[in-house]
Amino acid sequence: MRRTLGAVLVLSLLAWAGTVWTYPPTGLTIWTVREQLILLTGLGAYTLMALIMLLAVRPQWIESRMGGLDKMYRLHKWSGILATALAAAHYLIKIGKPLLLAVFDPVAKAPRSAAWLDVFRGSAKDIGEWAVWILVVVVALTLWRRFPYHLWRQVHRIAAVVFLVAAFHGVVLTPAAWWLQPAGWLVAAATAVGSACAVLALTGNIGRARRHRGTVLSIDPLSGDVLSLVCSVQGDWRHRAGQFAFLTADRREGAHPFTVSGADDGTGRVRFSIKALGDYTRRLQTSLKVGQAVTVEGPYGCFDFQQDDGCPQIWVAAGIGVTPFIAWLESLRSKPDCAPRATLYYCARNKADAPFAQMLETLCAQIPRVTLHTRFSDTQRPLTAADLLAEHVRGAPWPQVWFCGPTRFADALKQGLHRRGMPVRQHFHQEIFQMR
Ligand SMILES: Cc1cc2nc3c(=O)[nH]c(=O)nc-3n(C[C@H](O)[C@H](O)[C@H](O)COP(=O)(O)OP(=O)(O)OC[C@H]3O[C@@H](n4cnc5c(N)ncnc54)[C@H](O)[C@@H]3O)c2cc1C
């Protein structure tokens, strides 16, 4: 993620530097420096905004390169934060002019945009200011974890409109001479890509090609707060074990992501195991009905142990994060010899909170290469990095760790593994059950 963000910033910087090199500002004064800073921060913010829009439409080719949609959304979020910071800097430098005027003499301004765009300059500046304020509010609500997700989702939709506003602002105020320079080409490319994606988003077409109509076939409570839901899906449905789909049972509520907690048996049936983690998933436990129409969009995700290097693996499933591992085990049941040598830790608070313990025992009994350890935090100490590496011999290749569960638990394990020298970037794989 950091590399992608860095690459976008470097690209903006190079495009700006290339342009300044061939089209240098007249003289080096506080005013030309201010002007260039405004242009550079604006270019960086705008390029990041185009990236945000591109990621928002979930292109398949990016998903496989980035290692899953959950990682794409994390990049989307941090691009949003960075774009807002740059846009705010752009705006602050602009409105800071009176402060400079108190110290420096003003100079006459050269015309900036192409003459035919001059009539739009005033409105482009005004709506650009509004766009910055709206971005700041959207980012603040994103970071304020207590703000309800369903309300945040509605507010967040405005981001596509903000992009189109920023496109108008950017195109009108880009210096005329830039259009034949690298910075102008970058503005043009960002405008084309971002606007196309914004229109896709505003017309409700994101993920349309991967949407399938479905019907609820069965609903079984697995425990007090987890239900198992089986749906039949129309059309050509195929998924890899460990992938997830967006399920819409109520159009007003919209789509929620759930792992397909079973292997693909070619019958067009998908199973979801849904834990009541919030308002909607709590309501689902009682509101779903057999025969109800649903929409299943997917599959998405790259949580796939088969990307292994032949080394032993460690699988850590915490709470409802066990669902991708169930799908993996089911897919290996018919070919147990193809399973990697793996140790699976299923972590839950206690027996009542571990509705999948029996199912895992049955599955692992059929796949001898996978060893199951069930851990209850009410009676045992929490699983640590030292436990995971207990059998690791110094100098031997590091195992691949596959984790799905609460983020704080993942962070604690990752830090511990890193302290013990494991290159976690290559060896720790995490499915993130959170998209905001
Ligand atoms: C890749 C992935 C796979 C998942 N697999 C499972 C699974 O197999 N079983 C399971 O029980 N849960 C799974 N989840 C979590 C599940 O999506 C959330 O628990 C559920 O959406 C919460 O909705 P809520 O309205 O009840 O809770 P809220 O309290 O409204 O939301 C709790 C959190 O869930 C996330 N969330 C809520 N709504 C959405 C949405 N529409 N889209 C994306 N994220 C949302 C947000 O991060 C939010 O902060 C998965 C999540 C992801 C990202």
Q: Ligand 1, atom 21: nearest CA belongs to which residue?
A: 256
Q: What mean pLDDT value characterizes the chain? A: 90
How high is the pLDDT of residue 395? Answer: 85
| Cα of 433 from ligand 1 centre, angstroms | 6
Mark which of 240, 270, 300 sits at the end of a domain.
300
At residue 24 the predicted structure's pLDDT band, cuts being 50, 70 and 90, is: confident
436 lines ligand 1 (CB under 6 A): yes
Q: What is the CATH number of the domain that holds 249?
A: 2.40.30.10
Between the CA atoms of 153, 73, 209 and 272, what dihedral angle is there, to the nearest 10 degrees? -80
Domain count, the chain: 3
Stretch 168-188: mean pLDDT:
93
> 181-190, 272-281, 306-315 — which is least confidently predicted?
306-315
| Cβ atoms 429, 413 nearer than 8 A | no
Per cent of the chain over pLDDT 90 is 62
Pair (9, 150) in one structural domain: yes
pLDDT in tens, 275-293: 998 888 999 888 999 999 9
Categorize the per-residue pLDDT at 325 as very low, low, confident or very high, splitting at 50, 70 and 90: very high
Same domain, 28 and 111: yes
State whether 123 and 151 are in the same domain: yes
Would you say residue 129 lies in a domain? yes
Domain closes at, from 281, 300, 319: 300
DSSP state of 289: -
> Is residue 312 classed exposed, middle or buried when 0-12, 13-18 and 19+ CB atoms within 10 A define those classes?
middle
Do 224 and 241 fall within a single domain?
yes
Residues 128 and 42 in one domain: yes
Q: Do 179 and 81 fall within a single domain?
A: yes
**pLDDT confidence band for 97 (50 / 70 / 90):** confident
Could you tell me if residue 257 is inside a domain? yes
Ranges 60-74, 151-165, 199-213, 216-230: which has the least confidence: 60-74
Mean pLDDT computed over 354-370: 95
Please give the model's pTM, rounded to 2 decimal places: 0.84
Q: What is the pLDDT of residues 291-304, one digit of tens each?
A: 999 999 989 988 88
Q: Is residue 436 part of a domain?
A: no
**Band of pLDDT at residue 106, cut at 50, 70 and 90:** confident
The verdict on 97 and 157 lying in the same domain is: yes
DSSP string of 295-310, one letter each residue: EEEEEE----GGG--S
Helix axes 69-95, 121-143, angle to 10 degrees: 130
Tell me what pLDDT residue 309 has. Answer: 65
d(CA 44, CA 49): 9
Residue pair 377/402 in contact by the 8 Å Cβ criterion: no
The answer on 155 and 29 residing in a single domain is yes
Cα separation, 85 vs 125, in Å, equals: 18
pLDDT over 90 (residue 118):
no
Flag whether pLDDT at 112 surpasses 70: no
Average pLDDT over residues 137-157: 86
Assigned token pair, 429: 């794989």
In a domain, 278, yes or no: yes
Q: What is the model's pLDDT at position 25?
A: 81
| pLDDT for position 61 | 86
Ligand 1 nearest-atom number relative to CA 256: 41
Task: Find the 287 Cα to ligand 1 centroid distance in Å.
Answer: 17
Q: What is the domain-level CATH number for residue 39?
A: 1.20.120
pLDDT in tens, 380-426: 998 999 999 988 888 888 999 999 999 999 999 999 999 999 999 88
What's the pLDDT at 304?
A: 82
Q: Whose CA is nearest to atom 27 of ligand 1?
A: 278
Those residues with Cβ within 8 angstroms of residue 70's Cβ, 6 or more apart along the chain or in another chain: 301, 431, 432, 433, 434, 435
Residue at 337: amino acid letter: D
Q: How many Å apart are CA 60 and CA 51, to the nearest integer?
A: 15
Q: What is the pLDDT of residue 66?
A: 84
> Which residues have a Cβ under 8 Å from the Cβ of 69 and sit 6 or more positions away?
58, 63, 244, 300, 301
To test the ligand 1 pocket, which listed residue (240, 256, 288, 303) has its Cβ within 8 A of the most ligand atoms? 256
Tell whether ligand 1 has an atom less than 6 A from the beta carbon of residue 280: yes
Question: Which residues span the domain enclosing 263?
Answer: 208-300
Three-class secondary structure of residue 122 per DSSP: helix
CATH assignment at residue 335:
3.40.50.80
Is the pLDDT at 311 greater than 90, yes or no? no
Report the separation in Å between the CA atom of 158 and the middle of ligand 1, taken as the mean of its atom positions.
21
Please list, residue by residue across 287-304, b when 16 or more beta carbons sit within 10 angstroms of its beta carbon and e when fewer do. ebeeeeebbbbbbbbbbb
Q: In the β-sheet with 211-223, what is the strand arrangement from edge to edge?
A: 256-259, 244-248, 293-300, 211-223, 226-233, 269-275
Query: Quick one: DSSP state of residue 307?
Result: G
Please give the pLDDT value at position 233: 95
Tell me, what's the pLDDT at 40?
A: 96
pLDDT at 279: 86
Question: Is the domain of 40 the same as that of 117?
Answer: yes
The torsion of the CA quartet 301, 360, 372, 246, rounded to 10 degrees, works out to: 10
pLDDT band (50, 70, 90) for residue 123: confident
Q: Is 48 inside any structural domain?
A: yes
Query: Is residue 245 within 8 Å of 273, Cβ to Cβ?
Result: no
Indicate the residue among 277, 300, 323 that finishes a domain: 300
DSSP secondary structure code for residue 262 in this structure: S
Are 102 and 170 members of one domain?
yes
Going by C-alpha positions, the residue among 400, 407, 333 that lies closest to residue 364 is: 333
Determine the distance separating the centroid of ligand 1 and the alpha carbon of 149, expressed in angstroms. Answer: 9
The predicted pLDDT at position 247 comes to 96
> Does residue 278 have its Cβ closer than 6 Å to ligand 1?
yes
147 and 229 together in one domain: no
pLDDT > 80? residue 111: no
Instruction: Report which residue type is found at 34.
Output: R
Please name the residue ranges forming H helices in 322-423: 323-332, 357-366, 385-388, 407-419
The closest alpha carbon to 315, from 396, 429, 418, 188, belongs to 429
* Mean pLDDT of the 322-340 span: 93
For the chain, first and last CA: distance in Å? 15
Taking only Cα atoms into account, the Rg of the chain, rounded to an integer number of angstroms, comes to 26
How much of the chain, in percent, has pLDDT values that exceed 70?
Answer: 96
Segment 164-188 mean pLDDT: 93
Residue 114 confidence (pLDDT): 61
Q: What is the pLDDT of residue 9?
A: 94
227, 330: one domain: no
